[in-house]
Amino acid sequence: MSSRAQLKFLRCMCEMTAAQGYTPAALSRGLRDITPEAYSRLRKILIHMERSSCLGDSLVLSSQELAANKVLTRVKTKELEAGFQNPSKFMPGQHIFDVLQKVKESPLFRLLKTMPKGGLLHAHDTALCSTDFLIDLTYRENLWICVGETGCEAIAFRFSESKPADIKVDGCKWQKMCEYRECHGEQKVRSYLQKRFTMYPFTNFVSADEAWSKFVSIFQLLDGMLLHEPVWADYYYNALTEMHADGVQYLELRSVIPNLYALDGSKLPLANTVQIYKTQTERFQELHPDFIGAKLIYAPLRGVSPKVVQKYVKNCTDLNKQFPNFLIGFDLVGQEELGRPLVDFIEPLLSMPEHLNFYFHSGETNWYGTSIDENLIDAILLGTKRIGHGYALVKHPVAMELVKKLDIPIEVCPVSNQVLQLGFDFRNHPASMLIANNVPIVIASDDPSFWHATPLTHDFYFAFLGIAPYSADIKLLKHLAISSIKYSALTKEEYCEGMEKWQQKWDEWIANLTKCDLEKPE
């Protein structure tokens, strides 16, 4: 609803109460003396004003979308009502690891799985592909594993024609992966890797630090396997394949842009890594013309000195010159509570060329009034185009009002926030406040591989059913999908083309939705 319409409602309310002889002071004591009919009208006005101020409510639906919305709301309402009857079984009120399989059986989840979601604007390079794909990579020729003293624990991986003598890891010895598998048995190794390549099913972390320790250990273990040049290309292409199957048509990937290595152990330049991203994206687009494309955000680690960040800025600038419409921005990543705050890096960050945008992780914390959550202030002052997570934003009303006025969307990553110990029950997620106050957001998945989640559907499911209000419907879903393209780094021409591709898929989904039988399992 427009501000003019809201003022009209307020005037109407004031006129109605004034006609009853009420002053503002009297109103503050309640409306106990007005007629039940007048009270009912006032109540409807206030509820309507609240709902109309929510994100996406201003969208106008077509007749087909209205018909599809009936299907959607029927399915959503059934799941909500089941939660009311037995709150202990309501899936957004539980940890994703406890309901992972049940969620996949949900009619609402199956509906959202087929929905064209637009773009995924917050995802990290080596946390994208399914665990099964990662395990399949361990069967590749020339893979070595570094095992601990027990001969079982995997400490590192490396592709090499011979024993990786140049790579020394304390407390372990190298052996061929095929020999390791023969020694311990096919099923045992597969089961072991399932646990090592993901955080699932661990839910008993005592702190965010403990959860992050496990989280970072997966990245470290995977690096030696994924940073081999041909594997890196295959991994990224498979990530695009899995995203496309999950209704994602566009990707803005955050990457540390590591130096890849060849089979002889030699390191390759950073530009080689970016070129692989670009080449594989173009290859995927050729085979999937409905895919809008992908762009890259350089996102190295934040726990470094200002001198290192200055080097990062140079890397970003140089790579952008080589890939001007592909590498489009900069971020700093890693656990915000342990890394240095943005204010420590103001001097090198201010030297970044203006045409390169910032997309800062900020406010991914439960702390309040510290240098950690004050990263939100610096991100805004530095002109960030989006804010990653922004979990602490609702504790900063001035910052929240600024991102609304400046139209800076928050990249909300529901499942990541839960797994990394920021909050448990999705109904208590601070993004509810953002939706209620019409603050721009996009839904993202961060690191879906590490929690056995789909590229984006799980996050949409928990956001729509648990974070959004009961009354949220297809308007919100449409708004979120459009926002993911609107707030992307696509050029004006690319945006128009991307919206056409998304609209075609959306229209197909709407038509199918009105005909499908969602109660029938897949």
What is the C-alpha to C-alpha distance for residues 38 and 24, in angstroms, rounded to an integer?
17
Spatial contact of 445 and 416, defined as CB atoms under 8 Å apart = yes
Q: What is the pLDDT confidence band of residue 519, given thresholds at 50, 70 and 90?
A: very low
- Residue 457 has which token pair? 């559907």
CATH value of 99-132+209-510 in 3.20.20.140, 1.10.10.10, 3.30.1330.60, 3.40.630.40: 3.20.20.140
Name the pLDDT band for 18 (thresholds 50, 70, 90).
low
Strands 361-362 and 248-255, bridge-based pairing: unpaired
Query: How sure is the predictor about 517, in pLDDT bands with cuts at 50, 70 and 90?
Result: low
pLDDT on residue 32? 62
Q: Is 146 helix (H, G, I), strand (E, B) or coil?
A: strand
Please, which residues have CB within 8 angstroms of residue 432's CB and are 6 or more apart in sequence?
467, 468, 469
The answer to whether the CB of 389 falls within 8 A of the CB of 361 is yes
Average pLDDT value for residue range 17-42: 64
pLDDT of residue 125: 97
| Contact assessment for residue 280 and residue 237, using Cβ atoms and an 8 Å cutoff | yes
State whether the Cα torsion 36-38-39-40 is positive or negative: positive
Place of tokens 């023969």: 182
Q: Which of 180, 217, 228 lies closest to 195 in space, CA to CA?
A: 217
Q: Which two tokens stand for residue 363?
A: 């406010």
pLDDT confidence band for 167 (50 / 70 / 90): confident
For residue 243, what are its two tokens?
A: 């995203």
Q: What residues pair up with 389 in beta bridges, in sequence order?
A: 362
User: Quick one: which of 228, 222, 240 has its CA closest to 279?
Assistant: 240
d(CA 276, CA 319): 13
| Active-site hit among 95, 124, 361, 389 | 389
d(CA 4, CA 212): 47
- Flag whether pLDDT at 459 surpasses 60: yes
Confidence label for 169 from pLDDT (cuts 50, 70 and 90): confident
Residue 217: how many other CB atoms lie within 10 Å = 12
- How many other CB atoms are found less than 10 A from the CB of residue 517? 7
User: Cβ atoms within 10 A of the Cβ of 214, count?
Assistant: 15
E strand segments, 186-278: 248-255
Q: Is the Cβ–Cβ distance between 482 and 115 less than 8 Å?
A: no
Domain residues of the chain, as ranges? 3-52, 99-132+209-510, 133-208
By residue count, the chain amounts to 522
How do residues 365-379 score in pLDDT, each as one tens digit? Answer: 999 999 999 999 999
Q: Are the CB atoms for 156 and 169 separated by under 8 Å?
A: yes
Closest of 417, 489, 411, 448 to residue 252, by C-alpha: 489
Q: What are phi and psi of 501, to 5 degrees?
A: -65, -40
Q: Quick check: is 48 catalytic?
A: no
Dihedral sign computed on CA atoms, order 9, 410, 215, 371: negative
Mean pLDDT of the chain: 92
282 in Cβ contact with 294 (< 8 Å): no
Whether the CA torsion 241, 247, 253, 254 is positive or negative: it is negative
Q: What is the pLDDT of residues 391-436, one digit of tens each?
A: 999 999 999 999 999 999 999 999 999 999 999 999 999 999 999 9
Between CA 461 and CA 468 the distance in angstroms is 10
Quote the CA–CA distance of 54 and 57 in Å, as a whole number. Answer: 6
What mean pLDDT comes out for the span 332-344?
95
Our answer to whether residue 141 is catalytic in this structure is: no
| Contacts of 62-71 spanning 24+ positions with Cβ under 8 A | 64/507, 64/510, 64/511, 64/514, 65/474, 65/478, 65/510, 67/514, 68/474, 68/509, 68/510, 68/513, 68/514, 69/473, 69/474, 69/475, 71/111, 71/513, 71/514, 71/516, 71/518
State the pLDDT confidence band at 1, using cuts at 50, 70 and 90: very low
Structure tokens at 427: 């109904």
Instruction: State pLDDT tens for residues 435-455.
Output: 999 999 999 999 999 999 999
Name the active-site residue from 252, 336, 364, 411.
364
